[in-house]
Amino acid sequence: MKLQPLFLSLFTSVVIFAQEHSHTSSRALTFPDIPNFKTLKTDFHQHTVFSDGNVWPTIRVMEALRDNLDVISLTEHLEYQPHKQDIPHPDRNRSFELALAEAKDHDLLIIHGSEITRGAPMGHNNAIFIQDANKLLHDKAETVFGEAKKQGAYVFWNHPAWYPQSPKGNPILSDFQKERIKKGELQGIEVINMGDYAEESLALALENNLTIMGTSDIHGLIDWDYTEKGHARPITLVFAKEKTAASVKEALFAGRTVAVYNSLLVGKEENLLPLLKACISIEEATYINKTSILKVTLKNLSSSDLIFENQMPYTFYSSPAVFTVPAEGTKVIQIKTLEKLDSLSLNLKALGAYVAPKQHPVVEWDITVEKED
C-alpha cells in the first residue's frame, strides 16, 4: 500500500511530460495522397532570431509537428541580420543545425535553406537544398544565384507582388528574373505568401513554367499570426514519390505542387485535379424510396473546406447549386436524376480552387448507385 502514492506521483509526472511533449493539437493539417504520389505538407519560408524572426529554431520544429507538417525549411535572411548584436553567428548554417537536432526523434524533414535578400529588381528569393549558407554571402547577386545552383539548390521567388518592392501590387518579371530562369537558377514562385494571393504571380508561374508555392513567411508565432485569427498557415503540398529529401527536391523541380491557404487551393491543373478528386470520398449513393431523387453523401478527407458548384445537367433537391463540404466533414446532396440510374458522373466546379487566373477546375467522380433491397 505504501507504493501506491509513489506510483500515482510517477504516473502523473509521465502524463504531464507526455502532454507537454506530444506536439499534438487540434489544428493538424491533413490532405490525402494522390495516385502514384505521397502528398507532403511543407512550409519552405520561415524565420527565427537568426535573422529577423522572434523565436528560437526549435520552436519552428515544434510548431510544424503540431501542424502535422512533413517538411520545413528555415530560410534566414543572408543580408538582413537585425539581431546580430545579441545573437552573432559567423556560421550561417547554425539555425538549420539547431532545427535538425530538435527534429531528429520526429518524422519531420528539415531542408537546409537561406533567403537571398535584395532590393528590386532582384527582390527576395529562397534557396533550399543548399549545402553551405556561408558560401552564399556575396555582394554580387548573380554570383549568389550561381553558387546556389552549384550547390544543387532549388530557388523560388518570394512574394513577388509585395508592395514595398512593387508599389502597384503586381509582380514585375525583370530582365534579372528572366536571366535566372534561362540559366536554370530560378525554378519557383510564391503565389501565396502569408495571407496574400496574387493571381498575377500565378500567371507568371504558368507562362514561365515555374513551380507554384505557398508559404507562411512566419516571423512571430504561428499561433498568434494564424491560429488565433482563425486561419491555418499557408503551405505547399508537394507530390513526392516517397518521403525523402531527394524525392521532395525532385518533385519541386518537376513542378508537382499545390499552394494552400484555408479553403484556397492554387496549382497547375495536372496537380490540382487529382488532389481535389482524392479529397472527396463518395460514402453513399442511394435513391430515396419511391423517387428518382438520388441521395449522395460526400466526405471531405482534407483539412480545408471545399466549395463546389453543380455542373451537371441535373439540379439539386432542397439544396443550392453552390455548397461547401466542411473540412473533415460530410455533406449530403440530393440529385434529381428524373429517372433511376445505375451510375452517374458527378461534375462539380471547385470554386475555392484555381488552375489559372479566374479559372476554376471542374472535377468528375464516377458514382455507382447502390442497389435497392
CATH topology of domain 24-262: TIM Barrel (3.20.20)
Instruction: Express each pLDDT in 29-83 by its tens digit.
Output: 999 999 999 999 999 999 999 999 999 999 999 999 999 999 999 999 999 999 9
CA 329 to chain CA centroid, nearest Å: 20
Query: The C-alpha cell of 93 is what?
Result: 548554417
Q: In terms of Cα–Cα distance, which of 269, 372, 362 is closest to 312?
A: 362
Q: Going by CATH, does the domain composed of 280-368 fall within 3.40.50?
A: no
Q: What's the pTM?
A: 0.93
Grid coordinates 479559372 are at which residue? Answer: 359
**Per-residue H/E/C for the chain:** CCHHHHHHHHHHHHHHHHHHCCCCCCCCCCCCCECCEEEEEEECCECCCCCCCCCCHHHHHHHHHHCCCCEEEEEEECCCCCCCCCCCCCCCCHHHHHHHHHCCCCCCEEEEEEEEECCCCCCEEEEECCCCHHHHCCCCHHHHHHHHHHCCCEEEECCCCCCCCCCCCCCCCCHHHHHHHHCCCCCEEEEEECCEECHHHHHHHHHCCCEEEEECCECCCHHHHCHHHCCCCCEEEEEECCCCHHHHHHHHHHCCEEEEECCEEEECHHHHHHHHHHHEEEEEEEECCCCCEEEEEEEECCCCCEEEEECCCCCECCCCCEEEECCCCEEEEEEECCCCCCEEEEEEEECCEECECCECCEEEEEEECCCCC
Low-confidence spans in the chain with pLDDT less than 70: 1-26, 373
| DSSP bridge pairs for 324 | 307
Give the C-alpha separation, 324 to 340, whole Å: 26
Amino acid at residue number 347 = N
Give the C-alpha separation, 188 to 208, whole Å: 9
Domain with CATH 3.20.20.140 in the chain: 24-262
Instruction: Express each pLDDT in 81-116 by its tens digit.
Output: 999 999 988 999 999 999 999 999 999 999 999 999
Q: What is the pLDDT of residue 20?
A: 45
Q: What is the pLDDT of residue 166?
A: 84
Grid coordinates 436524376 are at which residue? Answer: 337
Domain with CATH 2.60.40 in the chain: 280-368
